[in-house]
Structure 1
Amino acid sequence: MTSRTHGPAVPRPTWVAPNGKPPLSARMMRATWRRLPAKLHEVGWEPGLVVPAADGSPLITDHYFPRADGDRAQGDFPTLLVRSPYGRGLPWSPMYGLLFAEQGFHVVVQSCRGTGGSGGTFDYWRNEVADGQAAVSWLREQPWFNGTLGTVGPSYLGYVQWALAADPPPELKAMVVQLGLHDPYALFHADGVLRLETALAVGVGMTYQHQGMGPFLKATLRLQRRLREVTTAKPLRGASASAFGGEVPWLDEVMAHPDAKDAYWNGASLAQSAERLSVPTALITGWHDALADQTFEQYDRLRQAGCETSLLVGPWTHTSALQQGWPEVFAETLAWLRAHLGADPSDLRPTRVRVHVGGENAWRDLDDWPTATAASPWFPTAEGHLTQQAPTDSAPLTSFRYDPEDPTPSLGGPLLSRTAGSRDNSNLEAREDVLVFTGPPLTEPVDILGPVSARLSISTDTGHTDVFTRLCDVDPQGRSFNICDGVGRLRTEGEEPSQFTVPMSSTAHRFGVGHRIRWQISGGAHPRYARNPGNGESQLDATTFTPVHITLHTDSALMLATHTAVRAAEAEDTV
């Protein structure tokens, strides 16, 4: 970490607040929100300020501030830095600029280079460290900046926070990373499997959202109309151009590098920022957030570093957390910032972790995450049961055929789109290319708190396949709702079984009385993940596809972090 000071102790010039009001669109959106705290200040607005980046490129910036009686409010207020590649208008203007200025913060909303009118060329990760430091250098020269700085924001707005935290300036006293990114590779790929639908959604957001809501919505609808055409193209490489109205070179590049060890990804991950951070950092995510696993990793690294941190996990997707979940997210964020920037800890919750427990539909406060409970194995049987009785051998159990020309469809789960979340999987599970193993009806509740994984023993006839695995809750009416899932890639030679583990994210879920635990296994989930061609060709360049016979062996197991001693009564004849 380099050493910096705030600057010489010289008298600050008097700052005269401009007369600008926040944009009408921001004020109108603000009026639609409910369950938010009453405003403490009227808000002023300085739009279009030019902040020099590290290389001199102009970064266009808006400044929101508390005011009273037509002038600036009296007193020193801390500053929040919000850097975004999605523009400075809706929804960022009301959600961050307006709401937090109302509560007594200066808020600086800045467009990342190459977006929202800022100069230079946007690059997904290579400029954020230097540009964040340049923004802080500019803040030091402002007469209203009192030397106390916080950062806040979701998604890529979280990535720029980790970029600043790579070498945190002394003024940085608090961070709130909401549904935030720190590893671009993991956003686009999972064990070498392309997260196709997410990649396309990110491409639309990065390309169009900073141009305004009109162009962004138009591009989103165009992608939805052409999604099947794009995701089933042979080859897949370059097919997205028709949906984007032209080529997006950076998107083509990230899709074309599925190996995390490829030199292309050098410097992309900011995981090390959390490993040595001492700035108090609050983390927020949702169980169906596409970046939830990255949030759990951030929390683990911060805890190991001894950094003061908190974790809130709600029943949200990436988008619903900032919509239906916004009152809870805003309250959590405001409490953390007031405690660490304004020395008012009165609204902080008493425990480090708060999670929403699905099934129970209740919030639970915890001392840490995950809870200190060992995972228990649940084993599949040839009859389609799920049992805690261990098998006596590793013989073949059952097989299915995966055809990439007719790929197993995806349904719900952690996505960036409106199709994310928990869905009834009953029709999906009726397909012949989906294996289902179901436990007996529970006579007492079973709580799962922590990571879920699949320990798989798989053989194939081609040596090339992906395996998608999912935990579901089957209610007394027979509806099967997805809880969490994951995907892994099998790379073998010959038909001997391979043993590997597929992480399936984490959950806090109660399986109620009369419900059943279900394990679902298939050869993919398209278009959420790109199709595996089945023959060793790359997902982007394959023009021929080979059906794969996939065999599951008896020593496979679903690993569940059961929180209580409650277990299902074993039923010999119940599926």
Structure 2
Amino acid sequence: MTVSVGVMASDPEYAVHAELNVQVETRDGVHLATDVYRPADPETGDPIDEPKPVLLDRTPYGKRGRMERHGEWYAERGYVVAIQDCRGRFDSEGEYYIFKNEPEDGYDTVEWLAEQPYCDGQVGTFGTSYGAWVQSALATQDPPHLAAMFVNQGAANGRKATFRHNGAFELRWLAWAFTLGGGFAKRALENEDVQQRLANVDVGEVLENGPIQRGQSPLRHIPDYEEWAFDIMTQGSASDELWQEPGFNFEAFYDESADVPTVYSGAWYDSYTKATCDNFEALAERKDSDHYLLMGPWTHGWNSYPLPSWNKSYSGELEFGEAALRDYQETRLRFFDHYLKGEDTWSDQPTVQYFEMGTGDGSRSGDRLFHGGEWRSGSAWPLPDTEFETYYVHGDGTLSTEKPTVENSSTTYEFDPKDPVPTLGGNCSSYITYEQREENILEYPLAQRKLQDLTGRGGMDQRTRPDTLGADEPYGPLEQRSDVLVYRTPPLEEAVEVTGPISVTVYGSTDAPDTDFTAKLIDEYPESEDFPNGFAVNVSDSICRGRYRGYRDEPDFLEAGEVYAFEMEPYPTSTVFEEGHRIRLDISSSNYPRFDVNHNTGGPLYGDREYNVATNTVHHDSEYATQIELPVQPR
């Protein structure tokens, strides 16, 4: 069902009184610096006496600047807002190990706030990305006074899809360690030389020259960051203690997690798309409280206050039009007003609301292709009327719903880990580096330096260009590479709407003890006057590391020549493949730097100095029918 998303703008009712760097003591004696914004009398500026609900936002990015304005906005509308520096970050005490202490620190903060005289006993939480992780982390501890959560773009199981992905490592976390993480580490903030060393890091160059070694990169100057970075890069088994902790794996703690009204919001081109949908699907079934899923067409993050739109009307090289815009602050206000103040501001919100992409005419809109779309709604996820339809690959390069009947059909290619397939957009975030400057950090502070994107994000035409990391001349379509196998339908005679989770099974063999297979779903636009070469839109992608195939908890290496099922779950989506378009599936063995590259040696997950070229084979016959399952909706 198509839905309207108009939201009435609210007016401020109060002035704001701020108490900065309030010290919240945790159970182990560490003090967390917290700014508290309270509604105040517009005439006197004094905080009001009436207790109000508290909204908590915990961040590793510094609680001032944009976050300060964010706190003031909700305080003006009748909430106490607490914005806290996470442990070991900025003004908070303690040592920083990514996400490890967030469950207990979050619980302690919620309960501390509930005891304050300005709180009416209800604490809601909100935040994006890291600010979403920490909400789910504290929810695993079920704090008694937690009353509602708005979780925007956060994780579910860090080993399954966020830190690692089906065995592979998402290199964005190494990029984050060098930039937004390490650049603002306590030691970097306190030592100009350390911060300058991190400011001088060209992350693209680090990745190209990788893998890095312990004690041999700028991370050695912030050893606590080097520790967690290498833990994540080198530990891939479920038995590793890291992946069982509540700060890393919320999925393992679903049953004991808090039962409070929750919105899980995200985006089709976000780095947490799958996790957002997984959290909603699992917890909406387990919990009695109201749970909601809200998915837009955007990339990671949201626009800074006071801009009124939720992200932008575009993702990468795709334009969706004004229909895509949402007011992020007002949407969250409506939710909290309903569940924390008892106002009738959320009763018409559908359980599932999502933006269906792809109904545009494909014309040129500035520098982008007009992909278009509209908001739709549903009662559950996956949508109740979903018909999962299987498309099979065939030896002649076609993709169809007809299963192969031939025997012993396959296609072989060489996978050279020193020449991986470049990443062009998609579900990417934090693949970044600071612009290289001649000025030192005193002349040009790190906080003011521009961040440069290494991969692009969102929907992009799958053609390399001069700024594509890892690409060489002549630049052109990825499908022209010898290590990319392309399977496409004939031009569609009628539109196909795909909304929901996607799965791929590649039946593959190799001569290596370990290798990867990748899958990428593409909406192939036909040639047009605006785009004479057509336009290949990446919809969703995934990877499977051979030693962890079949979602294994422990590694199991490959036997040369044996055929295995390499199962993948490209992130869910909602898009329409219009009449005249082709549904396309690309299969290869790398997607760099979205994922780290398998060296094909069977050596360590990260840090291997040896490289082998693997001969990989994709099977497409009656016994081993490589396939993609799409969640097709009735039109």
Shorter-chain TM-score: which interval?
Answer: 0.7 to 0.9
Question: How many residue pairs were aligned?
Answer: 529
Match of 2:213 in 1: 237
Query: Aligned partners of 1:341 and 1:217: how far apart in 2?
Result: 42
- What is the CA deviation profile of residues 175-230 of structure 1, one whole-angstrom value per residue up to 9, with x for unaligned ones? 111111243334221122111134422553233357799x999899755x341x32
1:458 maps to 2:508: yes
2:105 aligns to what SS in structure 1? helix
Match of 2:183 in 1: 208
Q: Is the contact made by 2:236 and 2:605 (CA closer than 8 Å) also made in structure 1?
A: no
Alignment of 1:259-298 (within 5 A): 259-267=237-245, 268-276=248-256, 277-298=258-279
TM superposition shift of 1:480: 0.3
TM superposition shift of 1:278: 1.8
Match of 1:408 in 2: 421
Worse-superposed segment, 550-559 or 64-73 = 64-73
Structure 2 residue corresponding to 1:528, chosen from 590, 594, 617:
594
Query: Aligned partners of 1:132 and 1:182: how far apart in 2?
Result: 17
Match of 1:343 in 2: 342
1:493 aligns to what SS in structure 2? coil
TM superposition shift of 1:318: 1.3
TM superposition shift of 1:415: 1.2
1:156 maps to 2:151: no
Query: Aligned partners of 2:539 and 2:139: how far apart in 1?
Result: 33
Query: Aligned partners of 1:515 and 1:411: how far apart in 2?
Result: 20
Cα gap change, 1:445/1:195 in structure 2, threshold over 3 Å: closer, same or farther?
same
Query: Aligned partners of 1:422 and 1:209: how far apart in 2?
Result: 31
Q: Is the contact made by 2:517 and 2:566 (CA closer than 8 Å) also made in structure 1?
A: no
Cα gap change, 1:321/1:341 in structure 2, threshold over 3 Å: closer, same or farther?
same
Please report the RMSD computed on the Cα atoms of aligned residues, expressed in angstroms. Answer: 2.7
Q: Is the contact made by 1:204 and 1:219 (CA closer than 8 Å) also made in structure 2?
A: no
Query: Aligned partners of 1:249 and 1:429: how far apart in 2?
Result: 39
1:516 maps to 2:582: yes
Match of 1:12 in 2: none
Match of 2:435 in 1: none
- What is the CA deviation profile of residues 475-513 of structure 1, one whole-angstrom value per residue up to 9, with x for unaligned ones? 122210100111001242020211231111111111112
Alignment of 1:140-539 (within 5 A): 140-185=114-159, 186-201=161-176, 204-209=179-184, 222-223=200-201, 225-227=202-204, 229-233=205-209, 235-238=211-214, 241-242=217-218, 247=223, 248-267=226-245, 268-276=248-256, 277-306=258-287, 307-320=289-302, 325-326=310-311, 327-360=326-359, 361-372=373-384, 373-393=386-406, 395-417=408-430, 418=453, 419-426=456-463, 427-477=477-527, 478-491=534-547, 492-539=558-605
Q: Is the contact made by 2:111 and 2:144 (CA closer than 8 Å) also made in structure 1?
A: no
Match of 2:447 in 1: none
Match of 1:44 in 2: 17
Cα gap change, 1:425/1:244 in structure 2, threshold over 3 Å: closer, same or farther?
farther
Cα gap change, 1:217/1:433 in structure 2, threshold over 3 Å: closer, same or farther?
farther
Match of 1:14 in 2: none
Query: Aligned partners of 1:196 and 1:468: how far apart in 2?
Result: 16
Query: Aligned partners of 2:196 and 2:272: how far apart in 1?
Result: 25
What TM-score results when the alignment is normalised by the length of structure 2? 0.78
2:633 aligns to what SS in structure 1? coil
Cα gap change, 1:109/1:340 in structure 2, threshold over 3 Å: closer, same or farther?
same
Supply the AA of the counterpart residue of 2:163. F
- What is the CA deviation profile of residues 258-279 of structure 1, one whole-angstrom value per residue up to 9, with x for unaligned ones? 2233123331312244434321
Query: Aligned partners of 1:183 and 1:210: how far apart in 2?
Result: 25
Q: Is the contact made by 1:471 and 1:518 (CA closer than 8 Å) also made in structure 2?
A: yes
Query: Aligned partners of 1:35 and 1:240: how far apart in 2?
Result: 54
Query: Aligned partners of 1:453 and 1:219: how far apart in 2?
Result: 43
- What is the CA deviation profile of residues 501-531 of structure 1, one whole-angstrom value per residue up to 9, with x for unaligned ones? 1111111111112111110111101111111
- What is the CA deviation profile of residues 367-407 of structure 1, one whole-angstrom value per residue up to 9, with x for unaligned ones? 11111323211112222111111111452321211101111
Match of 1:571 in 2: none
TM superposition shift of 1:137: 3.6
Q: Is the contact made by 1:237 and 1:252 (CA closer than 8 Å) also made in structure 2?
A: no
1:377 aligns to what SS in structure 2? strand
Alignment of 1:25-174 (within 5 A): 37-67=10-40, 68-69=42-43, 70-73=45-48, 75-95=50-70, 97-174=71-148
Q: Is the contact made by 1:458 and 1:498 (CA closer than 8 Å) also made in structure 2?
A: yes
Worse-superposed segment, 424-433 or 36-45 = 36-45
Query: Aligned partners of 1:252 and 1:559: how far apart in 2?
Result: 35
Cα gap change, 1:529/1:512 in structure 2, threshold over 3 Å: closer, same or farther?
same
Sequence identity percentage: 30
Query: Aligned partners of 1:181 and 1:379: how far apart in 2?
Result: 31
2:546 aligns to what SS in structure 1? strand
Cα gap change, 1:235/1:425 in structure 2, threshold over 3 Å: closer, same or farther?
closer
Q: Is the contact made by 1:42 and 1:66 (CA closer than 8 Å) also made in structure 2?
A: yes
Cα gap change, 1:90/1:132 in structure 2, threshold over 3 Å: closer, same or farther?
same
Q: Is the contact made by 1:79 and 1:149 (CA closer than 8 Å) also made in structure 2?
A: yes
1:504 aligns to what SS in structure 2? coil
1:375 aligns to what SS in structure 2? strand
1:208 aligns to what SS in structure 2? helix
Supply the AA of the counterpart residue of 1:483. V
Query: Aligned partners of 2:72 and 2:576: how far apart in 1?
Result: 38
Supply the AA of the counterpart residue of 2:334. A
Cα gap change, 1:365/1:45 in structure 2, threshold over 3 Å: closer, same or farther?
same
- What is the CA deviation profile of residues 43-87 of structure 1, one whole-angstrom value per residue up to 9, with x for unaligned ones? 221111111111111111100111221223464321111122222
Q: Is the contact made by 1:230 and 1:243 (CA closer than 8 Å) also made in structure 2?
A: no
Supply the AA of the counterpart residue of 1:336. F
Q: Is the contact made by 1:53 and 1:135 (CA closer than 8 Å) also made in structure 2?
A: yes
Query: Aligned partners of 1:295 and 1:305: how far apart in 2?
Result: 16
1:117 aligns to what SS in structure 2? coil
Supply the AA of the counterpart residue of 1:60. A
Q: Is the contact made by 1:45 and 1:63 (CA closer than 8 Å) also made in structure 2?
A: yes
Supply the AA of the counterpart residue of 2:310. G
1:560 maps to 2:630: yes
Q: Is the contact made by 2:111 and 2:145 (CA closer than 8 Å) also made in structure 1?
A: no
Match of 1:7 in 2: none
Query: Aligned partners of 2:21 and 2:343: how far apart in 1?
Result: 32
Cα gap change, 1:119/1:564 in structure 2, threshold over 3 Å: closer, same or farther?
same
- What is the CA deviation profile of residues 531-555 of structure 1, one whole-angstrom value per residue up to 9, with x for unaligned ones? 1111211242221211111111111
Query: Aligned partners of 2:303 and 2:254: how far apart in 1?
Result: 23
- What is the CA deviation profile of residues 427-480 of structure 1, one whole-angstrom value per residue up to 9, with x for unaligned ones? 222211111111111121100011111111111122421111010101122210
**Can you give the 5+ residue segments of structure 1 that lack an aligned partner in the other structure?**
1-33, 566-575
TM superposition shift of 1:235: 4.2
Supply the AA of the counterpart residue of 1:78. P
